[in-house]
Amino acid sequence: MQIEPTELPDVIILTPRRFGDDRGWFTETWNAGTMAQAGLDLPWVQDNHSMSAVVGTVRGLHFQAPPRAQDKLVRCSRGAILDVAVDVRVGSPHFGRWVGVELTPENGRQLLVPKGFLHGFVTRAPMTEVQYKCTDVYAPDCDGAVRWDDPDIGIVWGLSGAPVLSAKDQAAPLLRDFKSPFVWGQA
């Protein structure tokens, strides 16, 4: 497993090794023992799988607040996405900054988005499928979002037209109106 840092500390790219032959390839997307040796001892409890039919579908920027905050390990198993993490930990020197990583089945990359970060993605191919692991189960009373096109964050989504959005994402507040439940340096 290759582990790469991003511009935001704690957000990392994991690229599993692939073992190929004339049938195709095999990869371990997560191995608890190997990852614990690398300092990533995460208790995955829920796996999610989404499909977005249309190019330019934006999902995010989402979070789940304490006490049900979630770390996420995101991968794209069909199509292509720009996967985005935004630091919203109060007191962080990187508060409001974002990082985006292209995830595709071909590059095999996964993005680890820790607690304290907003998460979102935009589809770059039709019929895109995204799978991600979470360290806590979905809790509707802890679910929240920040506006995907917040000018203070300034994410460059690479859209060529209007995005496809959920009602929740259309109504999400701006970062300046968001009281973050996350504090830098606290688990």
Q: Which of 119, 36, 33 is nearest to 73 (CA)?
A: 119
pLDDT at 38: 87
Residue type, 127: M
Structural domains of the chain ordered from first start: 44-177 (2.60.120.10)
Q: List per-block mean pLDDT (blocks of 10 residues) for the chain, which spans 187 residues.
A: 93 94 91 88 96 98 98 98 98 98 98 98 98 97 98 97 96 97 88
First vs last Cα of the chain: how many Å apart? 25
Catalytic residues: 62, 132
Mean pLDDT for all residues in the chain:
96
Q: Give 113: exposed, middle or buried? Use CB within 10 Å, 0-12, 13-18, 19+.
A: buried
Q: Which of 187, 185, 186, 147 shows the shortest CA–CA distance to 168?
A: 147
pLDDT at position 9 is: 86
Q: How far is CA 138 from CA 39, 42, 47, 72, 184, in A?
A: 25, 16, 10, 12, 23
Q: How far is CA 26 from CA 4, 17, 29, in A?
A: 21, 8, 10
Closest CA to 148 of 90, 62, 67, 81: 62
Rounded-to-integer distance, Cα 43 and Cα 69, Å:
13
105-143 pLDDT, tens per residue? 999 999 999 999 999 999 999 999 999 999 999 999 999
Residue 187: per-residue pLDDT: 65
Please tell me the distance from the alpha carbon of residue 100 to that of residue 121, in angstroms, as a whole number. 9
Return the SS3 of 108.
coil
